[in-house]
């Protein structure tokens, strides 16, 4: 049973780090929205949280950062804030989960140390789930607005429309992996508690029998 729990927390830790890397890539990528026009088929445009880019057909790319935070669209302001908070919570969760692993010698080896390890993993798992929700919200919100604007009937058909970029899919993957990692870490702690409680239940009758056996029967004259 212990080996299964150790494998569960190790897989959860690896998924946690993969989720954080995906969230970081989604935050830095300029492909949150893409746009291509029929008038200039040799160029396409990309819009990210930090910069806008023009991509040439021959492979050249030119990016320009936003002049100020006020120049950002409202949805991108929200996405930038949520993704930065998600990265911070994810990094904090990873730092808390590392000393909570059984492979890492920390917090002592007694019952108090094992309890401290479980608390660290539970807190890290909860932070991972919160980071996952914070990653899913901006990606889903930007995607929702993109769909609304794409099918806006008030605009002429010749007007180019923004479409989904690769960063949105990367953000969705990051959010899903964060949720999975948090669930695995919390599940490993719950499994350890259940296993320990079963061990106490099975050991208690034995201690009672040994205690009774040590008593000498009364002697009658």
Single pTM value for the model: 0.80
40, 57, 168 from 37: Cα distances, Å = 6, 13, 21
Return the domain boundaries, the chain: 2-31+73-206
161 Ramachandran zone, left/alpha/beta (phi>0; psi -120 to 50) = beta
Q: Is the pLDDT of residue 176 over 90?
A: yes
Are 175 and 139 spatial neighbours (Cβ–Cβ below 8 Å)? Answer: yes
Query: Rounded CA gap, 41 and 162, in Å?
Result: 15
Q: Is the pLDDT of residue 167 over 80?
A: yes
Tens digit of each residue's pLDDT (9 = 90 or more) over 200-221: 444 444 444 444 544 555 554 4
Tens digit of each residue's pLDDT (9 = 90 or more) over 56-112: 877 788 888 888 777 778 888 899 999 999 999 999 999 999 988 887 776 666 666
Paired with 125 in beta bridges are none
Q: Higher confidence at residue 61 or residue 42? A: 61
Please state, rounded to an integer, the average pLDDT across all residues of the chain.
82
Are 122 and 185 spatial neighbours (Cβ–Cβ below 8 Å)? Answer: yes
Q: Determine the pLDDT at residue 184.
A: 92
Which of 19-28, 51-60, 92-101 shows the lowest per-residue confidence on average (mean pLDDT)? Answer: 51-60
Q: Any idea of the CA torsion for 92, 30, 75, 159, to the nearest 10 degrees?
A: -170
Count CB neighbours of 171 within 10 A: 30
Q: Determine the pLDDT at residue 67.
A: 80
Count CB neighbours of 79 within 10 A: 26
Q: Is the pLDDT of residue 166 over 50?
A: yes
Which of the following CATH numbers is that of domain 2-31+73-206: 3.30.1330.10, 1.20.140.150, 3.30.830.10, 1.10.3260.10? 1.20.140.150
Q: Determine the pLDDT at residue 29.
A: 92
Are 145 and 76 spatial neighbours (Cβ–Cβ below 8 Å)? Answer: no
108 Ramachandran zone, left/alpha/beta (phi>0; psi -120 to 50) = left
Q: Determine the pLDDT at residue 168.
A: 94
Which of 42-51, 141-150, 202-211 shows the lowest per-residue confidence on average (mean pLDDT)? Answer: 202-211
Q: Determine the pLDDT at residue 201.
A: 43
């Amino acid at each position: 049973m212990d080996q299964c729990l150790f494998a569960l927390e190790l897989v959860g830790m690896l998924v946690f780090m993969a989720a954080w890397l995906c969230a970081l890539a989604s935050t830095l990528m300029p492909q949150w929205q893409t746009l291509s026009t029929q008038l200039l088929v040799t160029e396409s445009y990309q819009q990210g949280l930090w910069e806008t880019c023009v991509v040439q057909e021959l492979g050249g790319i030119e990016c320009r950062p936003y002049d100020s935070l006020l120049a950002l669209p409202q949805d991108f302001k929200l996405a930038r804030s949520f993704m930065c908070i998600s990265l911070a919570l994810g990094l904090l969760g990873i730092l808390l989960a590392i000393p909570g692993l059984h492979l890492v010698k920390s917090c002592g080896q007694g019952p108090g140390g094992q309890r401290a390890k479980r608390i660290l993993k539970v807190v890290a798992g909860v932070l991972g789930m919160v980071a996952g929700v914070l990653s899913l919200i901006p990606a889903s919100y930007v995607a929702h607005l993109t769909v609304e604007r794409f099918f806006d009937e008030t605009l002429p058909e010749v007007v180019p429309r923004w479409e989904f970029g690769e960063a949105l899919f990367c953000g969705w993957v990051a959010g899903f992996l964060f949720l999975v990692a948090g669930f695995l870490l919390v599940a490993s702690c719950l499994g350890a508690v259940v296993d320990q409680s079963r061990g106490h239940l099975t050991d208690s009758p034995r201690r009672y029998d040994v205690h009774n056996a040590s008593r000498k029967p009364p002697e009658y004259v």
